[in-house]
Structure 1
Amino acid sequence: MKVTIILASYDSGHYHGGCGQGPDAIIAGGLVDELALHGHEATVEDIEKVTEDDEQAREVSTGFAVCDAAAGHVAGAIGLGRFPIVLAGNCLTTAGAVAGEKADSVVWFDQHADLNTPETSTSGFLDGMAVATLLGRCWRPLAGAIPGFAPIEPQRAMLVGVRAVDPAEEGLLKEQSILSVQCSEAAGKAASLMEAGARRTHLHIDLDVHDPEMLQVNRYATPGGPSPDQLRKAVIGAADALPIVGVTLSAYDPIVDPSGEVPPVVGKLLIELLDTLEKR
């Protein structure tokens, strides 16, 4: 399969800070060569800096500027018949990938629900609003300005592996028709997205969905979650059932992974995903 890997190396408005170092670390871990060994041709594009003065950049404006850039790169890759893989520091960048793909549905692997809005968030953390942004519940003017962006209907969104949910998010999950399932249920529940009209599905994988006892990817992971093998099985099951048009992987901070355990896990996951999509 022909693949374009797009690097969005930002974390909370800062270029190459924190999890913004993750995309380069994954590439340095040999991802392109590993994909080639399994028959996949990968090129790498870097959106690079989107603001001139990183120290003064505001998280919100920079975050959406990254989304704009990601959307352009993703759309360009698809126009060339290539499958887009976005390696991002922040989850919000997925809004750009969804826009560039014109995706109408999403499978969201994450330990967090990311359903807060500015009105409900107690921390103000922008990434905690990523799914709410995709669903059109907040930041509407900024999201609407991303080329190609259209909100996803709640019934075409499936959260997988969520275990850290704020009270306000619990209320929204009860009110809305958003699926929230465990990894072991992902493949079986994917059909409900198709029944809801999913035709172009984006796959989002926040790597801190992993059990930190088995794979530490950042400082924010909470106890529980799947092993790498369990996650890979769930991702492949979902990909086998849904029309996946692109993938984002986010939230890897290499400073907590001095032995470099995460890049090979990412490589194995992506190889099996691409092999699955190629056979469909």
Structure 2
Amino acid sequence: MNKLDIAIIGVPMDLGQARRGVDMGPSAIRYAGVVERLEAIGHEVTDEGDIQVRVTKSSDMTQTNLKNLNEVRIGNTKLADKVHEVVTNGKFPLVLGGDHSIAIGTLAGISDRYKNLGVIWYDAHADLNTDETSPSGNIHGMPLAVSLGLGHDELVNIRGFAPKVKPENIVIIGARSIDPGERELIKERGIKVYTMHEIDRLGMTAVVEDAISYLKSREVDGVHLSLDLDGLDPLYTPGVGTPVPGGITYRESHLAMEMLEESGLITSAEFVEVNPILDERNKTADVAVALMGSLFGERLL
């Protein structure tokens, strides 16, 4: 296992969706012992603190159908600059959410550091909606589309370039709630998706092995892991804003993280959508930290 210099960045963002409370996710994950867990494995860990997110009293949709567009843009721009600084300094960025809209900033901050970045999207949802296809206007359902260069210009062009990632370099794992517009985009762009059907039928080992092989065949020079805790079944992660039954198990998720660590492909990561208000005794944050342990090389023996 390589010893890493990990920089933790919290993003208390709850403006990308309608349910408040996910802004407390970074604090819940810290309380669950993320720093101590990673240091115990042997990594150097620096907590960079939280990105300041401007709070609004109600959803602003005065100029667009996207909720809180301006605040989400500003927060993600700050995050992108911070992630870029961390990566430039040779550190591994570990971003704590916050809702999944923060992936816009994370990917904007790392993508120009790689010639051919890969992305693993571990999520119940595809997050490939745009302002034209979204049924809700919630930006947390759009970050992957935005990173492909699709959607509102103010989000697409954060840090002044687009796209941030190629569709053929994306792997989605665990999808089980996909909107019609997203389904069309997946087929049109040829995005690699392992739904729960593939996980049930093939098993997580085969799915992750195939995903790793696929990304290696694309000759990626780095892989970002974006893990939404609703990718797991709500039985294990009750504290998420958009739970979908029939998800990935706790043990399957540990196996996936262990295999990704063994592959040596992961160069950045984020864990999102931990909402303490909806949680049970910080259970979801505890799961997030346990999965981080596996991702960063924790072993029983």
| Counterparts of residues 198-237 of structure 1 (less than 5 Å) | 198-237=220-259
RMSD: 2.3
Q: Secondary structure at the match of 1:3?
A: strand
Displacement of 1:17 in angstroms is: 4.0
> Given the alignment, which residue of 66, 76, 87 partners 2:85?
76
Give the TM-score normalised by the residue count of structure 1.
0.89
Question: Cα deviations across residues 198-236 of structure 1 (Å, max 9, x unaligned)?
Answer: 212111000111101233122420111111221121233
Any stretches of 5+ residues in structure 2 without a counterpart? 61-67
Paired residues in the alignment total 274
Q: 1:217, 1:254 within 8 Å by CA — same for their partners in 2? A: yes
Q: 2:7, 2:91 within 8 Å by CA — same for their partners in 1? A: yes
Residue equivalent to 1:55: 57
* Segment of structure 1 superposing worse, 190-199 or 249-258: 190-199
Q: 1:162, 1:180 within 8 Å by CA — same for their partners in 2? A: yes
Change (3 A) 1:47 1:68: farther
Q: 1:101, 1:245 within 8 Å by CA — same for their partners in 2? A: no
Q: Are 2:93 and 1:91 aligned?
A: no
Displacement of 1:108 in angstroms is: 0.3
CA distance in 2, matches of 1:198, 1:242: 12
Q: Are 2:89 and 1:67 aligned?
A: no
CA distance in 2, matches of 1:273, 1:240: 9
State the one-letter code of the partner of 1:70.
Answer: L
Change (3 A) 1:87 1:121: same
Q: Are 2:143 and 1:130 aligned?
A: yes
State the one-letter code of the partner of 1:88.
Answer: G
CA distance in 2, matches of 1:13, 1:169: 18
Q: 2:107, 2:164 within 8 Å by CA — same for their partners in 1? A: no
Percent identical among aligned pairs is 28
CA distance in 2, matches of 1:63, 1:33: 30
Change (3 A) 1:148 1:84: farther
Give the TM-score normalised by the residue count of structure 2.
0.83
Residue equivalent to 1:270: 292
CA distance in 2, matches of 1:199, 1:253: 33
Q: Secondary structure at the match of 2:293?
A: helix
Q: 1:187, 1:234 within 8 Å by CA — same for their partners in 2? A: no
Change (3 A) 1:50 1:22: closer
Displacement of 1:100 in angstroms is: 1.8
Q: Are 2:204 and 1:186 aligned?
A: no
Q: Secondary structure at the match of 1:97?
A: helix
Q: Are 2:239 and 1:253 aligned?
A: no
Q: Secondary structure at the match of 2:257?
A: helix
CA distance in 2, matches of 1:48, 1:172: 32
Question: Cα deviations across residues 148-186 of structure 1 (Å, max 9, x unaligned)?
Answer: 764311110111100001122112222221000145212
Q: Secondary structure at the match of 1:161?
A: strand
Any stretches of 5+ residues in structure 1 without a counterpart? none
Q: Secondary structure at the match of 1:36?
A: helix
> Given the alignment, which residue of 152, 160, 167 partners 1:154?
167
